[in-house]
Structure formats: C-alpha cells, structure tokens
Structure 1
C-alpha cells in the first residue's frame, strides 16, 4: 500500500531470517575421508541400532581450522589442522578469497608461509616465507591495492604486496605477537590490529610512521576534534583495549564500529570515528582462552533495523547471538555432538576438546557456517514456520514408515514360527493303535 519503503520492508524480512537461525544437522560436509566406527561413540544424528557400525563423515579428519566463502557466495573453502592434503607443511591458520574475484585465494599456516593459489587448479601461484608463525592474514574488501596484512609471532604488522610479490614493509608498535587483523570496509588504507599486549592499534598504511594510535577501554567519550582516522588534531598513544591478548577483531560493514574480543573474556564495541568505548556489556558467559585468531561475524547493517546488528560469537561449543550495541543475548545455539572428539592426523589418533574455530557468513537467507576441531563443518540456517511444519510432516511420514516396517517384520516373524511348528509336526512319525 506504500506505507513501507522497499528497504524497510526488506529489513523486516531479513531481520526475521537472522533471528530464525538454527542448527541444520542434516546437511553434512564430506571430505571423502572414511572410517567405520561403532555407533556408541557419541556421534550425533545416528539412525543405526546400538552395537552396529556406520561410516563416520568428516570434512577434515584432523579438524577444521579455517573457513571462507567467495564473493559470489557459491564456494566454501576449508582449511584443515593437518598438512596431509595441503600445500603447507603444518596446519592452516586462515583462508581468504580475492575480494573482487573468486579466481584466486590465499592461505596462511603455522609453517611461516603465506601462499596464493589459482582457485580452478588449486596450484600455488606465489609463496611468501615470513619466517614466523602466521596466526591470520587480511585483505581489504574494497581497496585497489593488493596489500595482505599478516599477524605473526613478530610484534610488527607485516605487509605483503601481491602485485609486486614483495614483503613491502612492517609497522611497529605492538609488544609481542599479533593475533588479529581487520581492514576498514570504508577507508581502503586503514587497518586495525590486535596483539598479546592487550592493545588494538589503528594504522594508515600510506604513512611512513603508519600509526594512528590505540583504543583505550577507559575512554568512553573518544578524542574530540578528530575522526579517529588520522585526519585530526592528535592521536591516543597509550591505553589498552583488553586486559588480556586481543585475538578477535572485526568491523561493521558500514565502517562505523570496531568489535574486539580478548582473553579477559570481554567483547568491546568501539566508535570508529572517535575511538570511544561504547560500553556495550555482553555478560559473564563469554569464553576465550586459545592462542589463535577468534572468528567474529556481524550481520550486515542493511539486513536489520538501524542499530540492531547481530554479533555471532563462537563460545567454545556454542554459537552465541548478541544484539551488538547493547550486548543483549538473543540466542544460544549449542553445537551438536560430543564434548570430546577423536580426530586422526599424520601422528595418529588423538582426543580433542570440540570447539568452533572458524565462521563464514553467507547471507541472511543462507545463514552462517562454522568450522570445528572435531573435523566437522556445520551450517546454521534460518528456519521459518513453514520449515518446521515441513520437518514435522517428514518426521511423521518417517515414523509411519518405520511402524509399517515393524508391523511387516512382526507378521513375518509370526509366519516363520507357524512354519517351524508345521514342519516339526510333519516330521514326526504318527502311529495309530
């Protein structure tokens, strides 16, 4: 009737889809690595009777370390914790497609190497040795430059230029290893980095000094007279974003806010224009203690009401959905399956604590995908009322079929008993007096 604009109507629909995200255990990712195991191993969604055996399905037997989706939302790329089927010597730490073209992708690894591949052939096109463990890397989603920022054991941010094929320069400021990186989605030369020293630093890669200052958790007002991006009166050179290592970092897609996560079990939301801590409180439920990059995902600003973005937080064995700016917990999505999982690598079989290691946002209608240390890739898709009704009908049909099969089996059993009785009687010699 014209009461709602097209964007407003679209946001109503997509907000409902984001809020309806649920686990989808029926969709499995098969890496064609096979092992026959007993059913009583705790594996979820088993339809085999106890004591039987079945084929266990993995995406990666040794565990999944990283996920990424191409710009067309058609290809899902996964990296394993083992080097068995990889161009790297050790496990993958991060994966990323070219932001404008799915014809190439990048991988970084614990083996100190950053590698560039042709997607179609998966052949290595370029190999960069940074002589240090690379915990993650980042490509700008909008930049005309092809600089890859790398977070390594070394305290400097390392920049690799794919166009020239060189390790262009380093940006100094952190004290200790770097664990997280994120380019601004609106300003192509602005980069944020987080390290074990508890600081989040902003950089302008065009400058010789590069540093724009740090974020300070004690500052809830921000710096007056500056936009936080180096085009102002002064910068903040002291302060910490977290009381522990900062291993999670992302921006909202409009570039207005930066989201950080640290080993102090806190998530903080920052005004990117002023560097102010918005004081969003996410409660005491957060878990974060691993020395690896923590994947964070924020729903696009265009998909929800203004100021109502949703943060997806990997809380060990559950996916938490928060309202970003207030920190309100919207939903707890528990990862199906056992707490401890058996995985297989080149060194043999071992037990690992199951946790989420990667997140890839595909879209409101297509949900989000997660990587896990138990070797699985799990989809989390929106389920509407129609989806629930369809599943209920399918379950009722399946139940009816099982009952019919059980009835047939019972009838067959009774017939076999009668046949046995008849055969026994006919075999006996009967005499009449």
Structure 2
C-alpha cells in the first residue's frame, strides 16, 4: 500500500490505475465476517445435526437469525445503505447498514418490518428490488402471485398487482424512463407491468414453460433478457410488435447463426435457466442453468464465448439464482469477477476465463432447523440471496437457515490491527490501547466513506 501511495504521489501511477489496483485488491480480499449479525427479534430454537437431533448451543452463544422461517431474498438501495430482506414466511425487514461504525462486529436490528396484515404477502418472498433512481420505494414478489410496491420509510403498500401465477422474479430497468416491471412467472410469457398506469401492459410470447430469470440491459432501455425451464434465453425489444430479438444458442460461438426467435432447437442450456445478469457496460450476458453450467455471451452478436467454469457448480432449485458481477471499472479490462452462490458456498470466478479464484465457505451446519406457521422442520442450508455493496462494502447473502451474512474485504492492515488489539487486551485487560483504537478508527472511516460513495473513474 505504501509503495502504491508513493507511486501515485510521484506521478508514476495514474489515478485510474491506482483506483483499479486498490478496488481489485479489496474485492479479492473478501472474507466472511461472523461478527456482523442480523437479529430479527424472533424466539430462539436449537440447532440440529444431519440426523435431525437437537444440538446444544455453544457456551455463551445466543441463537439469532434475520428470518426464523428462512431468508429468501435481499436487495440494497442505490446509496448502499439500506438492506431489505424477505423471508420464507412472507416477512420483510429493513436494515440500516450504517447503524454501526465498527465494520467487523455488530448485531443489526431491523429499522422497521412488514407486519402480517391483509396488505402483506401471504406466502414466501421470491424477489426484492429497489426503485432504480432513488431509495424511496422497493418492489417485492411472492409465491402468492402478487407483485407489490412498498414505501421504504413506512413499509406501506402503495400498489398491488395480481398476476394470477407464481412470480419467481421481477426486474426494473436501471436506466429507462419507462417504469415497466418485467415479471417471470409460471406463465410462459414475459409479463410487463406499468407502475405509472397500474396495469399489466402486454406480454412477450415465445418461451415454452415457466420463466425463472429476467434482466434488463444496463445500456439499452428497451432490451430485456429472459430465461425459462425450456432451457432458452430470449432477447426482447419491448417496442417491437413481436418483441423477439432472438435466442441464444450454446452451439453458436461465432454469433452469425441467427434465428427468428421462435425455433425450439436453439437453447442456451440443456435444462432450466434460472440465472441471468449483464456486465454493467452491457457488453456481456451471463446465464446459469440446471445443467450446472455458466455461460458468458457476447451481447452484441449473441455468440457463446466458451468460457469454462469447471465441474464444481451446483444448481438445481426451482427458483431464481442471484448472480453478481463486479463493476467493470473496479478491475483491469476484461478481468471482471463473478460471484456464484454454490449451495453452501460462494464461488469467485474470473468471468471471461472461468478460472476459480476463491471458495467462500458459509459458516454453520449443513442442516438447520427453521420454524414457520406450520411448525418446525429441518432444511438443507444454502445461499438464496446475494447483493453487492461496493468495493469496500463487500457482499451480503441470505440463507435458508434464516441468516443474513456479511462478506467484507479483510486486508493485511486489518489483521495487523487485530493482533495489536489482542496483545493490548492481554496486557491491559479489556481496555484497548488508545493508539490502536485511533488506527482502527481511521481505517474504519476510510472504508465507511468508500462504502457510502459510489467510486467512479471518469
């Protein structure tokens, strides 16, 4: 770090290169932070082993979780401050991530929550997303067939849409002037809901079977990608009468095959497609399917780039799979990172080569006891939600065991300060040395500032 600062001060390293080196370093340093916990305030239950037998809690540990029935979804606002979580019991909670100035140890409590009233969802939450231009509102979808719009401050429902089938996910364009919400449901057509008029405008037909994934282009406001259980990924221009732009074909590595968009032979995956995202420059589309494959596509030509991610992938649940790609400006050109929820771990890949860089193991047992209105049951723990909080803010994940977990950059400076704190604690009891405390405060202030502000390299 000192060498980088020296090179920057002497002019031998430009500001863009310096920023990329630093942000890339922070992303690669992401680790689990068990000291950051989320307490939804529900009563404690005991953990179980793989045979279903109750286990005692470790001495001095109190069992807490964000959603006792399981956490299904997460979203974070554009200021990277407010986190909204949705539970398997239809509960929704709002968390203020700036609640603590300490980065590695704090127990968050909900700032507010959706109570079980007639306006709340009746079944589990499937997806959450903030309004793309400010943090005043967010959307939720559910197994109860409804898409709802909430006010962030009050958590009151301001709009409710009944789509008459399970809504697996929904998507809002991050750049568009229109306020169309694309919904992936059990129905084989893409459903478009207009938030301005409060009505379902039209549908985009072409898939054969339910839809599981949806994502708008980050650069073209009328272009949308959708994936379904038929193994196809379709591209749409919502301004066209037919809508269809084409179908991604895993056999096409040149992008010159072409399609009318209605053929059944061209498929992106051999099984259901339940994960879609774009790089933030709109140049590449990333898809994941039940065939346990990830594919990277050239968005301009539709060509399969043939990136190979190896045999380690696990993906087989009938739900939307959250994929996160690091911002293109935060790494060297062509070196974006993909975070993939692989059941009970998060895999960090180099996007274009498919090279596995890191396996982030989820702490805790493989089996967990959850409690809902129908009683207590044992479930296999896995990652269900994944959101990016920025270069310094790391990532946050939701899990079927009801926990929300934080994964933050942990640098060499942090490790040095931790050792100093331990040494000072041994020497002076619980009183932390003032010098170490000042160092920790300075470092935390730097990271907090990086988290609150969006880093740009214009």
Q: Do these two structures clear the TM 0.5 threshold for a shared fold by scoring above it? A: yes
Structure 2 CA distance for aligned equivalents of residues 128 and 147 of structure 1: 13
Distance 1:182 1:32 in 2: 34
Q: Distance in 2 between matches of 1:18 and 1:288?
A: 24
- Counterpart CA distance in 1 for 2:45 and 2:308 is 46
SS of aligned partner of 1:244? coil
C-alpha separation between the residues in 1 aligned to 2:272 and 2:378?
27
User: Do the aligned partners of 1:34 and 1:55 also contact (CA within 8 Å) in 2?
Assistant: no
Matches within 5 A, 1:23-422: 23-35=32-44, 37=46, 54-83=61-90, 85-86=115-116, 87-223=120-256, 237=263, 238-397=265-424
Give how far 1:261 is off: 0.2
Q: How many residues align?
A: 388
Counterpart-to-counterpart distance in 2, 1:113 and 1:50: 39
Shift of 1:152: 0.2
User: What's the CA shift for 1:101?
Assistant: 1.1
Aligned-partner SS, 1:391? helix
**3-state SS, counterpart of residue 416 of structure 2:** helix
1:35 counterpart SS class:
coil
Q: Distance in 1 between matches of 2:278 and 2:336?
A: 12
Q: Which whole-Å CA distance do the structure 2 matches of 1:50 and 1:293 have between them?
A: 33
Deviations 1:247-290, CA, capped at 9 Å, x for gaps: 00000000000000000000000000000000000000000000
Q: Is the 8 A contact 2:129 2:140 kept in 1?
A: yes
Distance 2:425 2:403 in 1: 26
Q: Distance in 2 between matches of 1:401 and 1:338?
A: 36
Equivalent position SS for 2:150: strand
Instruction: Determine helix, strand or coil for the equivalent of 1:212.
Output: strand
2:413 match: secondary structure: helix
CA distance in 1, matches of 2:79, 2:176: 18
Question: How far apart are 1:400 and its partner, in Å?
Answer: 6.6
The whole-number CA distance in structure 1 between the counterparts of 2:291 and 2:58 is 45
- Aligned equivalents of 2:161, 2:306: Cα separation in 1: 40
TM-score where L is the length of structure 1: 0.86
The whole-number CA distance in structure 2 between the counterparts of 1:334 and 1:401 is 35
Superposed CA RMSD in Å reads 2.0
Kept after mapping to 1: 8 A contact 2:337/2:351: yes
SS in 2 for 1:374: coil
Structure 1 residues 52 and 332: alpha-carbon distance in aligned structure 2, compared to 1, 3 A threshold: closer
What is the SS of the residue equivalent to 1:149? strand
Q: When the two structures are superposed, what TM-score results if normalisation uses the length of structure 2?
A: 0.81
Shift of 1:53: 6.7
The C-alpha deviation readout for 1:381-423, integer Å capped at 9, x for no partner, is 00110111222333445567899xxxxxxxxxxxxxxxxxxxx
CA contact (8 A) 1:320 1:331 kept: yes
Q: Which runs of 5+ in 1 are unaligned?
A: 43-48, 227-232, 404-433
Once residues 69 and 103 of structure 1 are traced to their aligned partners in structure 2, the CA distance between those partners, rounded to angstroms, is 12
Shift of residue 52, structure 1, vs aligned partner: 5.0
Structure 1 residues 201-260: Cα deviation after superposition (integer angstroms, max 9, x where no partner): 000001110000100000000028x9xxxxxx9768450000110000000000000000
Deviation at 1:51, TM superposition (A): 7.2
Query: Cα offset for 1:83?
Result: 2.7
Ranges in structure 2 where 5+ consecutive residues have no aligned partner: 1-9, 50-55, 92-114, 431-458
- Inter-CA distance 50–400: structure 2 relative to 1 (3 Å threshold): farther
User: Structure 1 stretch 113-122 or stretch 85-94: which is displaced more?
Assistant: 85-94
**Residue matched to 1:430:** none
Q: How far 1:372 sits from its partner (Å)? A: 0.3
Deviation at 1:5, TM superposition (A): 2.4
